[in-house]
Structure 1
Amino acid sequence: MPLERSVGAVIFRREGNKIYYLLLHYPSITHRAKRNYWDFPKGHIEGGEKPEAAAKREIEEETGLKDIKFIEGFKETIKYFFRFKDKNILKFATFYLVETKTKDIKISYEHIGFKWLLYEEALEQLNFK
């Protein structure tokens, strides 16, 4: 069975006494899904890259964010299966918790939108939990 590894980030920012989480809007046409969906920034690890460096690169490529701070001690890996071209794919995705002070996002060509949401709103908006 084919195996894929990717890294991503749960990005948050503080505004007053509230914490907002960043979700990106992914179009189905470019990401193997049957419909558009909301998720955290993530992508594949390139050859020879360390996971945290790959996450930093993906964050900058997908959001334009450079002022990021990885929260020490948080790294969560999830495992899931999906079908692509009539094959079952096993995927491991490692997520980091990352803080930024920047509100303005410059999404990449891979996305069709973004939202900063409070925790409960973000949970409700996420398509994959």
Structure 2
Amino acid sequence: MLQKVALEQSVGAVIKYKYDNTESAQFLLLKNRRGFWGFPQGHKEKGETELQTLVREVREETGISDLDIQSHIGKIMYSFFKGDGMRSEKEVSFYFAITSTRQVRISEEHADFTWVTLKDAFGLLDHAKLKQILDKGHKKGLY
């Protein structure tokens, strides 16, 4: 018998600090409670558009409400096992956004945050699919 797999939809953001020309661009990474670095992202709630989810999740996870959404980067899919042992598929749609604030107030979901250069972001990101999203946005000329 085939096990039904639930598809979870999430929306995430690659956020760049809007800088002047004297410093290199910096990107926001969040460290989750398991010790992995990634981007702000979260579940799409019933009735929300992707952009509404993006704005809400970024505000909840980082305290940042000054967000200038630039472009859709792409989607990733992965599967994982929930706490109850059920397999779940997750689709995360990523957008590129700019903020003019470096002040971050992380939620209880996260252990730490950092602003890093693009090169350092590739070094810190733990999951290959997150590196692919970062690379895809870079190749599209977004940053």
- Displacement of 1:75 in angstroms is 3.4
| Equivalent position to 1:24, from 30, 41, 52 | 30
Verify: 1:9 aligned to 2:9, yes or no: no
Equivalent-residue separation in structure 2 for 1:44 and 1:91 (angstroms): 10
Matched with 1:37 is: 36
**Match runs of 1:45-84 below 5 Å:** 45-72=44-71, 74-84=72-82
RMSD over aligned Cα atoms: 1.2
Q: As a proportion of its length, which structure holds more helix?
A: 2
Shift of 1:115: 0.3
Residue 54 of structure 1 and its aligned partner are, at CA, apart by: 0.5
Equivalences, count: 121
* Residue 122 (structure 1) shift: 0.5
Question: 1:92 — aligned with what?
Answer: 91
Structure that is richer in strand per residue: 1
Larger relative contact order (Cα-Cα within 8 Å, sequence gap ≥ 6): 1
Q: CA deviation at 1:27?
A: 0.3
Amino acid at match of 1:6: S
Once the two structures are TM-superposed, the CA of residue 77 in structure 1 deviates from its matched residue by 0.9
Larger radius of gyration: 2
Separation in 2, partners of 1:75, 1:126: 17
- The sequence identity of aligned pairs, in percent, is 35
Query: Matched residue of 1:18: which SS?
Result: coil
Gaps of 5+ in 2: 129-143
2:103 corresponds in structure 1 to: 104
1:27-69 superposed Cα distances (whole Å, 9 cap, x missing partner): 02xxxxxxx2110000001110011110000011111111110
One-letter amino acid of the counterpart of residue 68, structure 2: K
Structure 1 residue runs without a partner (length 5+): 29-35
- What is the TM-score when the length of structure 1 is the normalising length? 0.88
Q: CA deviation at 1:86?
A: 2.4
- TM-score after normalising by structure 2: 0.80
